[in-house]
Amino acid sequence: MITPELILTLLLILAVAWILGFIFSRFGLPVMLGELLAGVILGPPLLGIVNASPGIEMLAELGIFFVMFHTGMEMDPKELLEHIRPSLSVALGGFVLPFGLGYLTARVFGATDLQSLFVGLGVSITAIAVQAVILNAMRINRTELGHIIIGAAIADDILALIGLSTLLSLAETGAVDILSVLTILLKVIAFFGLTIVLGQFVMPRFTRRLADRGRKAFMFAMTAALLMAYLAELAGLHLIIGAFLAGQFVRKEIMDKDVYEAIANQFFAISYGFLVPIFFVSLSFHLHFFWEGSFLLFTFVLIVVAVLGKLVGCGLGASIFRFGFWESTIIGFGMNGRGAVELVVATVVLKLSDKLMDAKIVSDPLLTEHQFSALVLMAFVTTLIAPISLKWSVTKTCLPVEKAAFCQLWDEKTSP
C-alpha cells in the first residue's frame, strides 16, 4: 500500500542517492557508490531515518529484476555460448577457492564445521545483478570479458544453489541427499533447455511482428520477463536469471530496430532512474556493527579472503584459457561483488537454524549473529570495492602497450 510514509521515504532515498551519485560521478567514480553511501547515511548504520519495509524491499527486488532484463537485451546470446568454457572455468575457480578460504577462516575463529561450511558458501557467492549494474555503467557488458563475467556469475549462482541445498540437507539429516542434488541439476538442465527452445524457435515469431514502440511492445517484454522469472523460480533458481534470459529473447537482430530501442530505453529509465538506487540503498538496511575486537578482526579477515579468493580463483580460471594477467585481473575483480543473493542465502540459513534449534536437532546455530553480520558486512564492502577495483584494472589494461577488446568502449565512456 502506498502511504505518506512510503512516499517520503522514496523522496529521501532518491534525493540523497541522486546528490551523492552526482558527486561521485564528478570524480569519475561509479554512481552506485553514491547510492550505497546514501543507504549508509539514511539507514540503520548512521541516521536510521530509513528502515526496511515491505514496500521498499519489493521495489528493490523489482530493481534487480528490471536491471537483469535490460542486461539480457544488451548482451549477445551467441557470445555467451561462445565463451561458455572460460565462463565455467572462471565460475568454478571463483567458487571453490573462496569457499575453502571462507571455511578455513571461520574454523580459525572458532566456528563449528557446519558454521564454517555456511560461511564458506557465503564467501563464494557472486551477485549477478550487482555485476550487471557495474558492467553496464562501465560499458564492459558488451565485450568478451563482460560476457565471460556474466556467464560465470550465472554458473556461480547455480553452484551456490547446489551448495546451499547440499548443506541444508547435511544440517537437517546429517547426510548429503544425492537425490536432492540430482533433482536440482535436472531442473536446471530442463530450464535452460526450455529457454533455448523458446529463445530460438518461439519468441522470434512474436518479436518480428512487433511494430508498436509504445505500450504493446513494453507489455510483451514484461510478459516474457515474468514468464521466464516464474520458470526460473520453478527450477529453484533466482527470478533474476529468468529476467536476464528473457532479455535475450528481445535482442536487436530479430526485431525492428526502433521497437528494440524503445523497449531498451523504457527498461533503462525505470530501472536505473528509479528502482536501482532503491536497491543499493536497501543493502545497508541489514548492516549491524559489533564494536568488539574479535568481531572486527573476523570481519576484516573475511573481507580480505573474499576479495583475494575471487581474484585469484577467477583469475586462475581465466588464465587457463590464455587470458593475460590484466584481463584475468579484470575478470577476478568483476566477479567480486556480492549483495542481494548473499543476503537471501544467509537469511534462509538463519531461518532453518532457528527451526533446527527449536526441534533440538542441532545444539549450535548454523550461523551465529556475529557470523551473519560479518557476512552481510563482507557483502556490502565487496559490492563497494568491486566498481573501484574494476575501474582501476580496466585503466591499467587500457594503457597504450595493452590491446584489450573493450578499450574502445571504455574510451567512449570516459571521453567528454
Per-position DSSP letters for 165-203, written without gaps between them: HHHHHHHHHSS--HHHHHHHHHHHHHHHHHHHHIIIIIH
Amino acid 85 reads: R
The structure's pTM equals 0.80
> What pLDDT was estimated at residue 405?
53
> What pLDDT was estimated at residue 102?
95
Distance of CA 30 to the CA centre of its chain: 16
Q: Is residue 30 part of a domain?
A: no
Q: Is residue 22 part of a domain?
A: no
> What pLDDT was estimated at residue 134?
77
> Domain range spanning residue 348?
59-414
Count: domains in the chain? 1
Can you tell me which residue has the cell 590491446?
Answer: 403
pLDDT tens digits for range 225-248: 898 889 888 887 778 788 888 888
> What pLDDT was estimated at residue 398?
67
Distance of CA 146 to the CA centre of its chain: 14
Q: What is the CATH number of the domain that holds 371?
A: 1.20.1530.20
Contact between residue 249 and residue 224 where contact means Cβ atoms under 8 Å apart: yes
Q: Other CB atoms closer than 10 Å to residue 38's CB: what's the count?
A: 25
Contact between residue 238 and residue 191 where contact means Cβ atoms under 8 Å apart: no
Q: Is residue 240 part of a domain?
A: yes
> What pLDDT was estimated at residue 210?
67
Task: Encode burial over 344-383: b for 16+ CB neighbours within 10 A, e otherwise.
Answer: ebbeebbebbeebeeeeebeebbbbebbbbbbbbbbbbbb
Q: Is residue 17 part of a domain?
A: no
Contact between residue 121 and residue 167 where contact means Cβ atoms under 8 Å apart: yes
- Polymer length in residues for the chain: 416
Integer CA distances (angstroms), 248 to 87, 242, 323, in order: 18, 10, 26
3-state secondary structure of 324: coil
H helices of 75-202, in order, are: 77-82, 84-108, 113-124, 128-137, 144-173, 178-197
- Residue 167 CA to residue 258 CA, distance in Å, equals 48
- Residue 285 CA to residue 51 CA, distance in Å, equals 6
Q: Is residue 400 part of a domain?
A: yes
Contact between residue 227 and residue 239 where contact means Cβ atoms under 8 Å apart: no
Return per-residue pLDDT of the chain as tens, 416 residues. 678 889 999 999 999 999 998 998 887 777 888 888 999 899 888 888 888 888 898 898 888 888 888 888 877 777 778 888 999 999 999 999 999 999 999 999 999 998 999 999 989 988 777 777 877 777 777 778 888 998 898 888 888 878 887 888 888 777 667 887 788 888 888 888 888 788 777 777 777 666 665 677 888 888 888 988 898 888 877 787 888 888 887 766 667 778 888 888 888 889 888 998 998 888 788 777 788 889 999 999 999 999 999 999 999 999 999 888 888 998 999 888 776 666 667 777 877 787 888 777 777 888 888 898 898 888 888 888 888 888 888 777 765 554 455 555 555 554 44
> What pLDDT was estimated at residue 103?
95
Q: Is residue 14 part of a domain?
A: no
Can you tell me which residue has the cell 536440482?
Answer: 184
CA-wise closest residue to 36 among 372, 322, 277: 277
